Amino acid sequence: MNARTLAISAAVLAMGAMAGADSDRRSPAADVPAEKFYKNIQVFQGLPSTEIMPAMNFMANSLGVKCSYCHVTNDTGRWPVERDDKAAKGRAREMIRMTREINKANFKGRLEVTCATCHHGANDPVSTPPLPSESAAAHPSGPDAGPAAMPSVDAVLEKYTTAIGGKTAIGKVRNRKLEGTFTGGDGEPHRVEIAQTASGAYRSSVQVKEGSFTLVFDGKTGTSGGPSWNNPMQPDEVERIRSRARLFPAADLKERFPALAVRGSEKIDGRDAWRVAGRAADGARVTFWFDAQTGLLVRTLRRQRTALGDIPEQADYSDYRDVGGVKVPFTIRHTAPDRGDTVAATEIKQNVEIPESLFTAPAPAARPQ
């Protein structure tokens, strides 16, 4: 697989670079401790094996590095990631122990101090205060400067519901099919087809010269793969795709989030937007921004929880158009610390015939070495 294809697959599938690193091709499981699945585990004993890759991704994102910064790699066959040849790997273990001790002694074990606290996406941590940026100097009132009268959560959500067509129209949408372009890691637009249902099933297929990269999700489980291989989705991937599969991302916030609050306003693309923070029953946090004038959802920010800290993923919605009586964004841009992609629709249809078999995941097949 060449570098260009790898860049596309990383954005399409949002996989960790070390996925499938062990030679036996087993899948990690929540009830299998990390030390029973991976080799040479020293600081993550007892952690479910499914949480290792998210933790690795968090460290890589926090320092702005790739897996090869700490791990030994090779050009053919399996990566010998368990080896300790690189000093950076030992240093990483020291830093994990240090942050754990700080959080235990000062924050009752909560993940308040993490890799990102000091590194901010750079290998070398910053120990000096930053100089003020030109934009900050020009706007001393800060990001919350905006409309004076802050509305209630109910008012914001009611305006959103009305803006996209109303509860009755929303309730009539059973499914959606999208055709357009996907622009990912290689910077080139590729043909994409997406199908999704009100029950949460989702399928995305991006066409490239080498074949197609496909996500298949039935609402609970799924697979993600390339032209000749596919892997079962891990829990972090499932949560990521579940958030993308929602036909209307903010239509049922009060049911999904027992705690909701308007937390001021910010400028999104030059327009005032109300920021609504939500916390689910399991503690998961998601933030939503609604255009103060139109009421439309313009941005979401979800946080993937890992053993070391949260990884943010942002979605920006724009170019809303009427499709069958409801307004739908024709452009969605996803941004994470290590990847980004944009889906630009050329055609969207709703309430069309979509066979259930489309969301049946194929049997897993190993990635070719």
In a domain, 134, yes or no: no
Does residue 334 form part of some domain? yes
Question: Residue 126 has which token pair?
Answer: 């910053």
Are 110 and 212 members of one domain? no
Burial code (b: 16+ CB inside 10 Å, e: under 16) for 196-221 equals: bbbebbbbbbbebeeebbbbbbbbee
Domain identity same for 340 and 269: yes
Cβ neighbors of 134 (< 8 A, separation 6 or more) are none
Do 73 and 173 have their domain in common? no
Last residue of a domain, one of 93, 119, 145: 119
Domain hosting 76: range is: 3-119
How many whole angstroms separate alpha carbon 243 and alpha carbon 318?
A: 17
Last residue of a domain, one of 119, 138, 166: 119
CA–CA distance, 349 with 56 (Å, rounded to integer): 39
Does residue 326 form part of some domain? yes
Asked whether residue 219 is assigned to any structural domain, the reply reads yes
Residue 136 covered by a domain: no
Provide, rounded to the nearest whole percent, the portion of the chain with pLDDT above 70: 85
Residue 61 and residue 160 in one domain:
no
CATH number for position 109: 1.10.468.10
Instruction: Kindly indicate the confidence band of residue 354, based on its pLDDT and cuts at 50, 70 and 90.
Output: very high
Residue 2, pLDDT score: 46
Query: Is 100 in the same domain as 9?
Result: yes
Confidence tier at 230 by pLDDT (50, 70, 90)? confident
φ, ψ (nearest 5 deg) of residue 245: -80, -10
pLDDT (tens digit, 9 = 90+) per residue, 122-167? 888 877 777 675 544 444 444 444 555 889 999 999 999 999 999 9
CA separation for the pair 311, 223 (Å, rounded) = 22
- Dihedral sign for Cα 341, 344, 349, 353, please: negative
Residue at which a domain ends, from 119, 145, 169? 119
**Together in a domain, 114 and 157:** no
Same domain, residue pair 222 and 114: no
Would the pLDDT of 270 be above 50?
yes
As a whole number, mean pLDDT of residues 319-343 equals: 94
Q: What does the pLDDT read at residue 18? A: 36
List the alpha helices (DSSP H) in the chain: 3-13, 34-37, 52-63, 87-106, 115-119, 134-138, 153-164, 167-171, 235-244, 253-256
Whether the predicted pLDDT of 59 surpasses 60: yes
Alpha-carbon span 89 to 194, nearest angstrom: 40
- Domain harbouring 346, CATH code: 2.50.20.10
277 inside domain = yes
Do 164 and 115 reside in the same domain of the chain?
no
pLDDT, greater one: 69 or 351: 351
176 pLDDT higher than 50:
yes
- Global pTM reads 0.81
φ/ψ of 71, rounded to 5, equals -105, 150
Work out whether the CA dihedral 189, 195, 201, 204 comes out positive or negative: negative
Which residues, 6+ apart, have CB-to-CB distance to 39 below 8 Å? Answer: 22, 82
Same domain, 333 and 247: yes
| CA dist list (Å): 233 to 77, 155, 171, 245, 365 | 22, 37, 29, 14, 12
Specify the DSSP class assigned to residue 26. Answer: P
Q: Tell me what pLDDT residue 30 has.
A: 85
**pLDDT tens across 81-91, in order?**
899 988 989 99
Q: What is the mean pLDDT of the chain?
A: 85
Query: Looking at residue 364, what is its pLDDT?
Result: 66
Same domain, 162 and 107: no
- The tally of domains found in the chain comes to 2
Cβ pair 125, 118 in contact under 8 A: yes
- Under 8 Å between Cβ of 29 and 53: no
103 and 214 share a domain? no
278 plus 169 within the same structural domain: yes
